[in-house]
Amino acid sequence: MRKDIEFQTEDGVTLRGWHYIPDGASGPVPTIVMAHGFSAVKEMYLDRFAEAFAAAGMAGIVFDNRNFGASDGEPRYEIDPWQQVRDYRDAITWAETLPETDAGRIGIWGSSYSGGHVMVVGALDRRVKCVVAQVPLASGHRNARRLIRADYLAGVQEMFNEDRRARMKGEKPAMIPVVAEDPASPSALPTPDSWTWFTETGKSRAPSWHNEVTLRSVEMFTEYEPISYAKYVSPTPMMIVVALGDVLTVSDLALEAYEEALGPKRLVTLNGGHFDAYTADFEASSGPAIAWFRDHLGL
């Protein structure tokens, strides 16, 4: 069963999403808290994962990140990774209040940007009893240097500086497309598969998705280092799902995060690219996640 939900964060922003409850559930059950990655909204396949978890006996709290989709928040289309981490923790706090939630058996799942978030949340919040990080961002700084050509880097950094000067004068934040058909054109996620997945998925599943973020969202991306928290998730069990063909949140950095992590841990590798984890490799990504949650949340 799925129902619409909304809850307020500690700073008063209303976040909206879905609550999945396993059919026939009686009493509190293990609950997985979930949000999407960089600029994506919940309709971009998070329903498939939550449905799979519910079929396996686990509830799911799925929410749109602030400033995106059905959730409130200003400025629209701004991504502050640390604010999103705080919102995950507020979602956990709200989930604890629900009669359907077993507060002693809460897991978190994230993918791409939020795959990095769940490493951070898992390290900081011991209410979390199990973590799954799918195709995660491990190092914003190093990942950005893989996505931005070396001869473009100084120009990008000057764009950040000009945006800072403009904001100091009271001007609105500069904007940049999330994806562009030409990988050489300015965009936050400059890979061909990003353009294909976001534009096709936006049309078919998520008309609320918007192809624009604030430029400072990209700057904050370059400052964000989830890998520095990987070892501190322990002793909470963590699974990391790595797409070996990932050229967006590049696979070698995700594998490095796995090596940094202590146990209990498990590595799952997919043969496809970053976005195949949601589609062609869905069974290969969701199946192990279900088993990991069931094993460590007592099902």
Predicted pLDDT of residue 27: 84
Q: Which residues pair with 15 in a beta bridge?
A: 7
Report the first-to-last Cα separation within the chain, whole angstroms.
Answer: 19
Please list the rounded mean pLDDT of every run of 10 residues in the chain (299 residues).
97 98 91 98 98 98 98 98 98 97 98 98 98 98 94 94 97 97 91 97 95 98 98 98 98 98 98 98 98 95
Residue 194 lies in a domain: no
Predicted pLDDT of residue 184: 83
Q: How far is CA 97 from the centre of its chain?
A: 23
- Tokens read off for 272: 């496809």
Predicted pLDDT of residue 272: 97
The answer to whether the CB of 230 falls within 8 A of the CB of 260 is yes
**What is the DSSP code string of the chain?**
-EEEEEEE-TTS-EEEEEEE--TT--S-EEEEEEE-STT--TTTTHHHHHHHHHHTT-EEEEEPPTTSTTS--SSTT---HHHHHHHHHHHHHHHHTSTTEEEEEEEEEEETHHHHHHHHHHHH-TTEEEEEEES----HHHHHHHHS-HHHHHHHHHHHHHHHHHHHTTPPPPEE-S--SSTTS--SS--HHHHHHHHHHHHHT-TT--S-EEHHHHHHHHT--GGGGGGGSTTS-EEEEEETT-TTTTHHHHHHHHHH--SSEEEEEESS-GGGGGTTTHHHHHHHHHHHHHHHTT-
Question: In 3D, which of 40, 197, 213 has the Cα closest to residue 117?
Answer: 40
Residue 90 lies in a domain: yes
- C-alpha 288/C-alpha 277 separation (Å) is 12
What's the domain count of the chain?
1
Residue 82 lies in a domain: yes
Q: How wide is the angle at C-alpha 247 spanned by C-alphas 265 and 108, nearest 5°?
A: 35
Residue 147 lies in a domain: no
Query: Residue 66 belongs to a domain with what CATH number?
Result: 3.40.50.1820
Predicted pLDDT of residue 24: 86
Predicted pLDDT of residue 26: 81
Predicted pLDDT of residue 271: 96
Domain with 104 in it: 2-138+226-296
- C-alpha 183/C-alpha 203 separation (Å) is 20
Residue 103 lies in a domain: yes
Q: Which residues pair with 5 in a beta bridge?
A: 17
Predicted pLDDT of residue 211: 98
The answer to whether the CB of 20 falls within 8 A of the CB of 32 is no
Q: What is the pTM of this model?
A: 0.96
* Sequence letter at residue 227: I
Q: How far is CA 217 from CA 113, 118, 149, 163, 262, in A?
A: 12, 19, 19, 11, 30
User: pLDDT tens digits, residue range 235-270?
Assistant: 999 999 999 999 999 999 999 999 999 999 999 999
